[in-house]
Amino acid sequence: MVKIAGIDAEKATAETEVEKKMIKRFFQTISDFFKDVKSELSKVTFPSKSETIGSTTVVIVFTVIVSVFLAVVDLILVRLLRLVV
């Protein structure tokens, strides 16, 4: 019985060590992840103010052009349907 109890104690100790290693590895992985994130963010180049204004202007102008085009197409289709119906 003592031998079995000794084996059980050794097994429990081994399992505890494995759990400690798993927890340590888990937190090390999280730490590595955030180090990589910090490294990647240091490589990011953000656009200048003039680039941002230029891109925004292009988007707004294009949106207005497409809106006008769709409004004209809608108006034409509505008038055609009124003639047919």
Domain boundaries of the chain, sorted by first residue:
1-44, 46-85
Q: What is the pLDDT of residue 85?
A: 84
The pTM is what? 0.53
Write out the chain's pLDDT in tens, 85 residues: 445 555 566 666 767 888 888 999 999 999 999 999 999 999 999 999 999 999 999 999 999 999 999 999 999 999 999 999 8
68-to-8, 45, 57, 60, 82 alpha-carbon distances in Å: 80, 35, 17, 12, 21
